[in-house]
Structure 1
Amino acid sequence: MASLTEPAAFVLAALADAPRHGWGIAEEVQVLSAGRVALRVGTLYGVLDRLTAEGLVEPDREELHAGRTRRYHRITAAGRGALTAEAARQEANARALRARLAVRPA
């Protein structure tokens, strides 16, 4: 599997502990990324559509809230696998970069 985009990785991470609706996902992504990733509505739903098409996310339920339907999404087993692989890839990259920074030029 190809590496995940930063927004996709954070969306999967936001769903790793509980199903969430769109606004909840966007808020959790902001928290997890310490504000570095802010998802606009179009971006968020584009990412969710792609992750759903790839089988990494699936619909969980719908609830009516203040006259509007909230659609909840949850991570799948394949999504957990992809997120685990992405975390390992990023950790390996970080180790390689830190090792390179530790080398002092002659």
Structure 2
Amino acid sequence: MKLKKNYRINATSILKRNIMFRVRTLAGINYLFCGDNCFELNEVANSIWEYINGIDNVQTIIEEISLEYGKPVEFITDDILAFLDEMIENQIFIIK
């Protein structure tokens, strides 16, 4: 499969959460907090947050999301890698 761009991570990368960030659910909406910063997480982004554990690699996370949402791995890989790349760029996830 050809990826759309070069990412900081690959299938074997393992990520962990920055301990300064927390997810809270208010009125059924998931928010990612750190200090004065707040980001709304959609359902898929929140699922990805839950799968980031410092143990499972990126490929495992993509496969879990594929199963959870019934979408082919080939269809979701670029979107998930782009999301993870942005989270790494913003130091929300850290490459282990």
For Structure 1 versus Structure 2, the TM-score category normalised by the shorter chain is 0.3 to 0.5
Structure having the larger proportion of residues in helix: 1
Structure having the larger proportion of residues in strand: 2
Q: Please tell me whether Structure 1 or Structure 2 has the larger radius of gyration of its CA atoms.
A: 1
Q: Normalized against structure 1, the TM-score is what?
A: 0.43
Q: Normalized against structure 2, the TM-score is what?
A: 0.46
Q: Taking CA–CA contacts closer than 8 Å with sequence separation of 6 or more, which of the two structures ends up with the larger relative contact order?
A: 2
